[in-house]
């Protein structure tokens, strides 16, 4: 019995031992599998997982550079940055945005305007973009939101730099504005291979200096490597490449002069370009009415946009660069110069003006603006009294192609090359042009109206100003420009803007002197601008113009009052001062303003007064349009 039990015990023990041995083998195998797995993960695939771990924890965030500041020639700030808190939302993170916005109501003062703008922005952008809900939060709003932040996932408060244009509407067309980057901008950025540099940037220069000098103003985007946790929260900064701020721009504009000029336009539509005739520096670039560029910075809301975009006064249109108008009598000095230069007229050549001019084979006479005519008119007098009859004959003698070739030298019919975008070329007609454009022969009659700046001839105010500057400086072609210098933010060094140069005109100085003398006489008693020049402490040369408005582009609907106003002539004036050593040359146009001498010349006078003597114009009085005209 005991032996049996012992044998059983022995048998049981040996079974147990064998099972333990088996368990040991299994354990070793299992642990070897684990060891193998660890070797696989930590040795074989280590690089792979290392990369994953780094990607897991490191997020590279762009650091947006500070945009360059824009100042006028005297250092007055025209576009600056200021820091403010903005409430932003990533719509893609929020299931019901409308409700979230409703709930935000008591915390942040949301105007219907803010909501409309957000809606518009959402239509234009992708779901994962962070969009501003409300800009410029007050301290109280920031505090209140911070306390309730947990309720609003997807919303975030950010400190942002905003662009500000302290002078509002003044010089808005020259300075332009920045706005949110849209699809078209994105494509342009991609084409320029600037995509990386624009990471994190959500505004871009759209117009004017802001648009054309975007490459100087933007700066170089920096980056920051931040360690993040699994929730995407930044824990600490690992490395940082500082952004390089955009360069500061000094413009050639004199903002005070600009203001004087814009105020002189009060209530009227038009454009004025004033430049330094010796350098082509633009001192004032006016297009009236203007707009407040600050509206565009945060994304313009639909109401204001409609107001600006659908206004019949077209405030968004930069008339100085894009408005193409018949130059009218303002081209008479240039025609006179051509007359002398071509030898078709001598200074002594005199006509007896009956008040009209007949073209052989044409029944209808070409009428002078003054019924009955100006009597005996030589070249000097033709400019001073603006005799149309004199130029009808002259144009006929010159022929269109001769006019065309000569006027190209003064920059007519081609873009001036100003350093902001959007300029229109105007039109300097020729036989070739008409054939190409209308498949029609040029008629002699076409040349006659071109002789007084009508017909097919179209100029922009900028072209006219540039041509005037060339007259004023004695024949040196200048390229008008707005940029004076670029200040490198890092070194502080200023790099002057080098405008393009052109070949000087080969015009005899005595011819030039003759025409300029006639232009000075325009401002003297008996001249068409005598009224505007009365009492000036300096002498200046000028030429009035009155352009007939042919063919209306706007106002298709018939509205008697409106059409009447729009059919009224444009008033033009070109001038330079002082007459002896010109420091400023300008061209200006008042749309439907009537006669150049009455409506346009006084504006030039105010500009000259301020620029040359520092005298500010007297308080505004109602516009009167009488006195000697054209």
Partner 1 sequence: MVRLINSAFNMLSRRLDGPLSIVIIVLVALGLVVIYSASGGSSFDRAVGQFRNFAVAVTAMWIVANVAPQTLLRLAVPIYVAGLVLLIGVALFGDIRNGARRWLNLGFTSIQPSEIMKIGMPMILAWYFHRKEEGLRVADYAIAALLLALPTGLIMRQPDLGTSILIFASGFFVIFLVGLSWKIIISLSVAFLAFLPFAWGLLHDYQRARIMTLLDPATDPLGAGYHIIQSTIAIGSGGVFGKGWLNGTQSQLDFIPERSTDFILAVFGEEFGLVGNLLLLSLYLVVIGRGLMIALNAPNTFSRLLAGAITLTFMTYAFVNMGMVAGILPVVGVPLPLISYGGTSMLSMLIGFGILMSISTHKQLVAS
Subset of residues 87 to 126 that bind partner 1, contact rule: CB under 8 A? none
Q: Beta partners for 227?
A: 58, 236
Determine if 31 is a binding residue for partner 1 (CB under 8 A). yes
So which residues are the catalytic ones? 329
Answer for which of 6, 25, 41, 147 binds partner 1 (CB under 8 A) is 41
Three-state secondary structure call for residue 547: strand
Answer for which of 25, 30, 239, 534 binds partner 1 (CB under 8 A) is 30
Subset of residues 488 to 547 that bind partner 1, contact rule: CB under 8 A? none
CA angle 321/323/329 to nearest 5° reads 105
Determine if 619 is a binding residue for partner 1 (CB under 8 A). no
Residue position matching structure tokens 């903002």: 255
CB of 199 to partner 1, least distance (A): 24
Mark the segment that binds partner 1 (CB under 8 A) among 225-233, 327-335, 440-448, 554-562.
225-233
Determine if 237 is a binding residue for partner 1 (CB under 8 A). no
Closest CA to 273 of 531, 536, 572: 572
Determine if 16 is a binding residue for partner 1 (CB under 8 A). yes
Closest CA to 430 of 406, 410, 409, 452: 406
Number of Cβ atoms within 10 Å of the Cβ of 544: 31
Nearer to partner 1, 46 or 500 (CB): 46
End-to-end C-alpha distance for the chain, whole angstroms: 147
Determine if 35 is a binding residue for partner 1 (CB under 8 A). yes
Mark the segment that binds partner 1 (CB under 8 A) among 155-163, 222-230, 413-421, 591-599.
222-230
Determine if 238 is a binding residue for partner 1 (CB under 8 A). no
Residue 564, phi then psi, degrees to nearest 5: -60, -45
Answer for which of 7, 10, 25, 27 binds partner 1 (CB under 8 A) is 27
- Taking a C-beta distance cutoff of 8 angstroms, is the pair 354, 529 a contact? no
Determine if 228 is a binding residue for partner 1 (CB under 8 A). yes
Non-local (6+) Cβ contacts of 402 within 8 A are 338, 342
Spatial separation of the C-alpha atoms in residues 281 and 584, rounded to whole Å: 10
Answer for which of 229, 242, 432, 580 binds partner 1 (CB under 8 A) is 229
Nearer to partner 1, 61 or 110 (CB): 61
Number of Cβ atoms within 10 Å of the Cβ of 378: 18
Spatial separation of the C-alpha atoms in residues 321 and 37, rounded to whole Å: 73
Spatial separation of the C-alpha atoms in residues 336 and 329, rounded to whole Å: 11
Closest CA to 603 of 196, 139, 243, 286: 286
CB of 94 to partner 1, least distance (A): 18
Spatial separation of the C-alpha atoms in residues 210 and 381, rounded to whole Å: 46
Determine if 443 is a binding residue for partner 1 (CB under 8 A). no
Mark the segment that binds partner 1 (CB under 8 A) among 7-15, 425-433, 503-511, 608-616.
7-15
CB of 153 to partner 1, least distance (A): 16
Spatial separation of the C-alpha atoms in residues 305 and 316, rounded to whole Å: 10
Determine if 234 is a binding residue for partner 1 (CB under 8 A). no
Answer for which of 6, 10, 20, 119 binds partner 1 (CB under 8 A) is 20
- Taking a C-beta distance cutoff of 8 angstroms, is the pair 531, 522 a contact? no
Answer for which of 24, 60, 143, 147 binds partner 1 (CB under 8 A) is 24
Spatial separation of the C-alpha atoms in residues 209 and 486, rounded to whole Å: 12
Nearer to partner 1, 31 or 438 (CB): 31
Helix then strand then coil, in percent of the chain rounded to 5, is: 40, 20, 40
Spatial separation of the C-alpha atoms in residues 556 and 440, rounded to whole Å: 27
On the 0-12 / 13-18 / 19+ scale of CB atoms within 10 A, 279 is middle
Answer for which of 7, 10, 25, 53 binds partner 1 (CB under 8 A) is 53
Cα 274 to chain center, whole Å?
17
Mark the segment that binds partner 1 (CB under 8 A) among 25-33, 61-69, 271-279, 396-404.
25-33
Subset of residues 348 to 387 that bind partner 1, contact rule: CB under 8 A? none
Answer for which of 6, 7, 10, 19 binds partner 1 (CB under 8 A) is 19
Determine if 7 is a binding residue for partner 1 (CB under 8 A). no
Mark the segment that binds partner 1 (CB under 8 A) among 47-55, 162-170, 488-496, 522-530.
47-55
Answer for which of 6, 25, 46, 311 binds partner 1 (CB under 8 A) is 46
Nearer to partner 1, 40 or 443 (CB): 40
CB of 226 to partner 1, least distance (A): 11
Spatial separation of the C-alpha atoms in residues 543 and 601, rounded to whole Å: 9
CB of 96 to partner 1, least distance (A): 22
Mark the segment that binds partner 1 (CB under 8 A) among 208-216, 223-231, 521-529, 559-567.
223-231
Give the contact letters, 176-215, x = binds to partner 1 (CB under 8 A), - = no: ----------------------------------------
Determine if 52 is a binding residue for partner 1 (CB under 8 A). yes
- Taking a C-beta distance cutoff of 8 angstroms, is the pair 349, 342 a contact? no
Spatial separation of the C-alpha atoms in residues 497 and 629, rounded to whole Å: 41
Spatial separation of the C-alpha atoms in residues 410 and 478, rounded to whole Å: 9
Non-local (6+) Cβ contacts of 70 within 8 A are 77, 78, 79, 175, 209, 210, 217, 248, 249, 250, 251
Nearer to partner 1, 27 or 501 (CB): 27
Mark the segment that binds partner 1 (CB under 8 A) among 34-42, 122-130, 348-356, 582-590.
34-42
- Which spans of this chain sit near partner 1 (rule: CB under 8 A)? 5, 8-9, 12, 15-17, 19-20, 23-24, 27-28, 30-31, 33-35, 37-39, 41-43, 45-46, 48-50, 52-54, 56-57, 227-231, 235
């Amino acid at each position: 019995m005991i032996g049996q039990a012992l044998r059983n015990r022995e048998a049981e023990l040996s079974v147990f031992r064998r099972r333990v041995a088996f368990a040991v083998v299994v354990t070793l195998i299992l642990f070897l599998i684990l060891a193998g797995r660890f070797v696989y993960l930590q040795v074989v695939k280590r690089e792979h997982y290392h990369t994953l771990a780094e990607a897991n924890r490191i997020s590279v965030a762009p650091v947006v550079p500070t945009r360059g500041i824009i100042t006028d020639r005297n250092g007055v700030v025209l576009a600056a940055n200021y820091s403010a808190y903005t409430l932003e939302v990533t719509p893609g993170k929020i299931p019901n945005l409308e409700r979230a916005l409703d709930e935000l109501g008591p915390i942040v003062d949301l105007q219907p305007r803010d909501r409309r703008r957000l809606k518009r922005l959402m239509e234009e952008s992708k779901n994962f973009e962070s969009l501003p809900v409300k800009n410029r939060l007050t301290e109280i709003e920031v505090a209140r939101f911070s306390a309730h932040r947990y309720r609003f996932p997807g919303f975030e408060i950010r400190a942002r730099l905003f662009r500000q244009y302290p002078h509002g509407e003044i010089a808005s067309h020259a300075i332009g504005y920045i706005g949110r980057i849209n699809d078209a901008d994105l494509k342009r950025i991609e084409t320029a291979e600037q995509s990386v540099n624009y990471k994190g940037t959500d505004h871009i220069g759209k117009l004017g200096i802001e648009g054309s000098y975007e490459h100087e103003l933007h700066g170089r985007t920096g980056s920051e490597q931040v360690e993040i946790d699994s929730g995407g929260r930044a824990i600490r900064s690992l490395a940082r490449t500082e952004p390089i701020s955009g360069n500061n721009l000094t413009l050639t504009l004199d903002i005070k002069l600009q203001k004087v000029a814009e105020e002189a336009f009060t209530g009227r539509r038009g454009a004025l370009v004033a430049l330094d005739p010796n350098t082509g520096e633009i001192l004032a670039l006016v297009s009236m009415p203007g707009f407040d560029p600050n509206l565009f910075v945060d994304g313009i809301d639909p109401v204001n946009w409609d107001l600006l975009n659908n206004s019949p006064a077209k405030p968004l249109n930069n008339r100085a660069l894009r408005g193409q108008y018949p130059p009218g009598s303002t081209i008479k000095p240039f025609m006179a110069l051509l007359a002398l230069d071509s030898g078709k007229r001598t200074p002594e050549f005199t006509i007896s003006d009956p008040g009209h001019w007949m073209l052989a084979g044409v029944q209808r006479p070409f009428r002078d603006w003054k019924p009955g005519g100006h009597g005996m008119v030589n070249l000097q007098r033709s400019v001073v009294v603006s005799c149309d009859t004199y130029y009808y004959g002259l144009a006929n003698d010159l022929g269109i192609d001769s006019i065309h070739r000569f006027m190209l030298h003064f920059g007519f019919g081609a873009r001036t090359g100003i350093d902001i975008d959007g300029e229109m070329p105007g039109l300097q007609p020729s036989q070739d042009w008409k054939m190409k454009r209308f498949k029609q022969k040029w008629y002699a009659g076409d040349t006659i109206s071109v002789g007084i700046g009508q017909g097919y001839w179209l100029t922009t105010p900028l072209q006219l100003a540039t041509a005037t500057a060339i007259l004023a400086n004695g024949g040196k072609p200048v390229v008008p420009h707005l940029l004076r210098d670029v200040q490198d933010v890092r070194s502080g060094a200023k790099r002057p803007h080098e405008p393009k140069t052109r070949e000087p005109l080969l015009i005899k100085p005595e011819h030039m002197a003759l025409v300029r003398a006639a232009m000075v006489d325009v401002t003297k008693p008996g001249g068409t601008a005598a009224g505007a020049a009365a009492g000036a402490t300096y002498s200046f040369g000028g030429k009035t113009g009155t352009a007939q408005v042919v063919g209306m582009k706007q106002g298709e609907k018939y509205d008697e009052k409106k059409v009447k106003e729009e059919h009224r002539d444009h008033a033009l004036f070109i001038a330079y001062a002082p007459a002896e050593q010109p420091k400023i040359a300008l061209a200006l146009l008042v749309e439907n303003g009537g006669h150049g001498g009455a409506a346009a010349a006084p504006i030039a006078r105010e500009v000259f007064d301020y620029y040359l003597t520092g005298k500010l114009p007297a308080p505004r009085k109602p516009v009167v349009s009488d006195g000697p005209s054209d």
